[in-house]
Every structure is written in C-alpha cells, then in structure tokens.
Chains A and B, each alone.
Chain A
Amino acid sequence: MSDQIGEREYLSVQELKVHFGGKSLFGSGSIVHAVDGVSFDIAKGTTFGIVGESGSGKTTTALAIMRLTHITSGAVFLDGTNIGALQGEALRQARCAFQIVFQDPYSSLNPRQRAFDIIRDPLDLMDVGKPEERAEMVHALLEQVGLRPEQGALFPHQFSGGQRQRIGLARALATKPDLIVCDEPVSALDVAIQAQILNLMSRLQKELGLTYLFISHDLGVVQHICDEIAVMYLGQIVERADRMTLFSNPMHPYTKALLASVPSLHADRKNRATRQRLKGDPPSPINLPKGCRFASRCPLAQEQCHQMSPPLRELENGHFVSCHLADA
C-alpha cells in the first residue's frame, strides 16, 4: 500500500484474451469473450485493483494470470518471465512466486484436511525448506495470520468464515510468493470481519513486500486498499488510473455511473431523485456489439459510439480511458 513507485512492471499483462466455448468432439457452441484484450502493469509492492460487475471478466482475468484457466492469447510477464507461456513442470515450479486467495472461505479449503496439513501441503509439494523444519514453518505461518498454532489440528468446518480466510492466506503465503491474486477475498464475509482481513492483508503487505492483484466489486474496499485501479466492462478495461485520480476525476461514463450507484453513508437523501441511473443490463459476452460495448447503456452515446470501438487512450499522465467522448 505504499505510494512510492518501486520497480515498474513487476507484473505485466499484455493483450490478454480468454475465450470459452467453440468446437467439441460431438458438436459446436458459441464463443464467450470473457476477457478480450486486457493490458496493465503492476509495480512491485503495490496493490492493483480490478473492479467490475458480474460478467465483466475480472475473475477470469485473475484465474488466467494464475494459470488456472486457459489463455487464448496474450502474455503475462512476472518479473521478466512470461508465465503465460510456461507448461508442465516449469509452470508448476514457477507457481511458487504467484499465489491466490479465493472468495468463498467455505469451498476454498479441503474439508477433509486439518488446517495444519492445508498449510503444510505447499511446503511439501514445492519442497520449501528442510522437511524437519516444516512443522515449525506452519506454526509461524499460522501466527502470522493471527491464528494459534494449536488451532492447526482443527478441520475447516470448525472455523468461522474469517478464520478460514486467514487459513487461505497462510496457504498462499507458504511458498513465499511475491504476487498474491485476491479474488474478492472479503465479499463473502460479515461486515465486521471484513475489516479484520483487510487490515491483516495491509499488514502482511508491509511486512513481506507483497504485490497484490485485488479483484472486487466493492468500490469502498477497492478505494481503501488499492494504489491503482482498472474498471472492467464486458471483458475490457474501460478506465485505469491511480487511486486519487480515478475517484476524484472519473472520466468514463460507466465509471461515473458505478461510483454514483454506491450507497453513501452520509447521502443527502432528499436529492437522490436527481441522480442519473444506468438503465438495463450489460449485453451478453457472446454477441458483442460492433462499437463501444457500453454504448447500449450509455447516457451520452452518439452515432460514432455504435460504429467504432474506442481505444484505451492515455488522457492524462497515467490516466487511461476508453471512450470517444472523454477529454482531458
């Protein structure tokens, strides 16, 4: 969470595309463009957030970077290595450097394993440390995420949601990764528990110099934890900027609508009627429109928006917007 810019381009995602469907042995289906040409860089030790609604492709982007779903085209450079092109044993070994924390604390832990074994597995599989030291390492990891070593004997169903998410974090930290992809890590938790996990993540980042890719639909959380943010809509980034710029000067009509739709604690409730609302739902990622993907819901859309897809342009220093009508 430090604002200093470290080594630029520690993670560099270039023109990432993930398409699903198409031909199979006994038939063929339509193609879903889940991620369609996404590019961004993350500096070491910082947090990059991706926000978007369901179907925007944010989770697929995360899984593709983690190599947990296939990549149709594009490259993912982590510290100079294209992890998007690795295969087999080379990929397995490279996984030490990038780990993931999932959204659902209930389905992300194997119900038949004790917490201790869940955290010990990555040490054994990736051959981290000497075998006789590993029990000690597991205890240290448990303490690092705020659990007591003796709790390692318990099974996942004996923990609360927040504690399970701590176990998930400890498992991700076990191989000493530099990049942690966090896929909605707090959205399944009770509000009072979210703060515990977010604070823990911030503290771990400071202590270990971690780089986070943080996926979320919750703009409040993203604003709190991220240094740079990309807004995704239908498989593409529509706006990207640092934290201060994006929230104080949003330029894409979708970003503006998204920010306006968040209920605020100190809302002036009398004036709410005047606020503009987005109409309708996003089009399907199967039959994409020819022009701007947001045009069908955009209050400002003009003829050219329906004809031509806008490129992602840098309007100010580090502020990228994909809209024909945006001006610096």
Chain B
Amino acid sequence: MTIAETPHMEPRPEHPAAQAWRVFRTRPAALFGLLLLVVIGVVSIIGPSVYAVDPFEIVWAPLTAPFQTPTAPLGTDYLGRDILAGLIIGGRATLLVGLTAALITVSIGIFIGAFSGYYQGWVDDVFMRITEFFQVLPPLLFAMVLVTLFSPSLVVIALSIGIVSWPATARLARAEFMRIRGLEYVSAGRSIGARNGRLIWRVILPNALAPLIVSATLTIGIAILFEAGLSFLGLSDPNVMSWGLMIGGGRQYILDAWWVVTLPGVMIFMTVLGVSLVGDGLNDAFNPKLRDR
C-alpha cells in the first residue's frame, strides 16, 4: 500500500475561519469599514469618561454654532446642551439598540428557518405561513404600534425592530438548511449515529452561518436606521441620549441651525457605512470561489 501523499505537499492545518480572514484582510473597503466601527465603538465606550460632560446639562446659549466657544466645541442644541457630549454618549444607545435588534432578528430567524428547512413537510408549511404573516405587515407602522402600546424604552424599541425584521433572515436560514441537509455529510452524520438535534445545531448550523453572519451584520445597519427613524417621529426613549433622539429633538431647527441635526446624522451615516462595508467584506470572505486566488 502506498501512502497517498507526497511529503513535500504537507500543508499546515487551516481552519475555515482563518481562510475567511485571509480574504477579508485583502479588501481595503472592508478594512476601512472595520476601522470606522472600531473607532466609533471605542469612542462610545470610553469617550464619556474622557469627555465627562452630561449631555442633558445646559452648558451655553441655545443653538450656538460649532467652534464658537471652547465650552461646547461642536455647538449646542435648542436647549443649550453640548452637542459633542451627545455625539459621544449617544453612540452607546444607538449601537446597543442596533446590536440587540440584530441579535433578536437572527435568533428568531435561525430558529424558525432551522426547523422549517430541516424537518420540511408540515412543520415547514406552518412556520412559513407564520413568516409570511409577519412579512406582509408594514414594518415601520407595526413597530410604531408596538412602541406606542408599551413605553418607548430602549428594550421595547430593540424588540420591535427585531420582531418586524426576522422573516427575511428566517427565509435565508431555511434555504441554507434545506441545501445543506441534502449534502452527503449530513447523511453520513445520521449514519454514524448523530441525532436530529446534533445534526441541526452542531453539523448544519455552523456550515449555514456564513450568509447568516453577513445578513446579521447588514441587519445592524438597518436596525440603526430604524431606530433613527422612530426617534425622528418622536418615538424614542427621552431619558437616554441617542443620535436618533438628537435628530428628533432638533428637527424643527434644521433650517436655522444645520449642526443640530447634521452632526448626529453624520455619525449614523458613518456607522451604517462601516457596517455595510464590513458586511460586504464578510460576504467575499465566505465565498469559497474567492479563497484560492
């Protein structure tokens, strides 16, 4: 019996995740997006302790333009509150809502999609009818109803966004589960004694994750925009400073004081841009066709 491998070809073990990172780091746009997110994240987390100004405190005359006073370097809003302080701490609430909503979306989506795609038959029929019910509801209106019914707290807002946006993820997860379930390594798993639970969560899910991670990343961006939209309509938590709240409060003064709305708007734009670039990069990184180039 010959050993089937010639010695000079022995490669080092390379985990699929390491392969993905190898592709990701060759994308300048994706790396730029990642840098944006890291900067925004770091500023939101440690910024408030470096620049310790209460964003709700009135520090100067209302509607002062940027660069007029060192007390409020980026100007003040309609109540005379420091805009820079708001921008720094507002990222916390915005990112938190975005992340939580994306997590809820993906959790519901994967759960429904996994059972639908794995068991098929009547399970699939029932779950897909439920998914379609949620899909035909107008998302913004439905979220508004939920937020109005309960108090407009961050938790309720995150939940509402999650509840209206999971169907797309569920459909994606279902398609992936159906595809992978038909592959021979799943049959092989059953043959060597794996039970359904193991096949669903330990065998199929890790292999279905790639497109779901991409979609989850993009969902963060959508959720942040959604939160901003709700805030703009006045449906945000008035006790927690967020970029959306800043835009919502300043919207009447947009013609007189551009900075009140524009500066938090730029922050939201940068965050969503960062998320989208990272999402695109991940999409390429998980594409097997781009790996071996």
What is A's interface to B at a CB cutoff of 8 Å? Answer: 24-26, 63, 66, 68, 92-93, 95-96, 99-100, 102-104, 107-112, 114, 121-122, 125-126, 146-148, 151, 153-155, 157-158, 160, 162-163, 166, 168, 171-172, 174-175, 196, 199-200, 203
Contacts and interface: CB of A to CB of B under 8 A. Distances in A.
A96 B193 CA distance: 8
Nearest to B190: A68
Interface string B164-208: 000000000000000000011101111111110010000100110
B238 interface: no
B256 interface: no
B67 interface: no
B4 interface: yes
Nearest to B187: A68
Given A68-B191, A147-B5, 6 more contacts: A100-B188, A107-B185, A121-B192, A148-B5, A155-B16, A163-B5
A153 B14 CA distance: 9
Nearest to B185: A110
A35 B189 CA distance: 24
Contacts, number: 100
B121 A92 contact: no
Contacts of A172: 191
7 A-B pairs with the lowest CB-CB distances in the bound complex, closest first: A122-B192, A125-B193, A108-B184, A102-B184, A25-B125, A153-B13, A110-B185
Interface string B193-237: 111001000010011000000000000000000000000000000
B1 interface: yes
A103 B188 CA distance: 12
Contacts of B5: 147-148, 151, 163
A125 B191 contact: no
Q: For B3, B4, B5, which residue has the most chain A Cβ atoms within 10 angstroms?
A: B4
B15 interface: yes
B125 A125 contact: no
B122 interface: yes
A23 to B, nearest CB: 11
A114 B13 contact: yes
A25 B191 contact: no
Q: For B11, B14, B185, B189, which residue has the most chain A Cβ atoms within 10 angstroms?
A: B185
A158 B14 contact: yes
Given A25-B125, A147-B4, A174 B192 contact: yes
B2 interface: yes
A103 B15 CA distance: 25
20 contacts: A63-B187, A68-B187, A103-B184, A108-B185, A110-B189, A112-B16, A121-B192, A125-B194, A146-B1, A146-B2, A146-B3, A148-B5, A154-B13, A158-B14, A163-B5, A166-B4, A172-B191, A175-B192, A196-B2, A200-B1
A196 B5 CA distance: 12
A26 B187 contact: no
A100 B191 contact: yes
Contact of A154 (B11, B190, B192, B203): B11
Interface in B55-114: none
Nearest to A162: B4
Contact of A95 (B1, B4, B121, B191): B191
A39 B11 CA distance: 47
Contacts of A126: 192-193
B210 to A, nearest CB: 10
B125 A26 contact: yes
A175 B192 CA distance: 8
Nearest to A196: B4
Nearest to A108: B184
Contacts of B14: 155, 158
Q: For A102, A172, A199, which residue has the most chain B Cβ atoms within 10 angstroms?
A: A102
Contact of A171 (B183, B188, B190, B207): B188
A108 B188 contact: yes
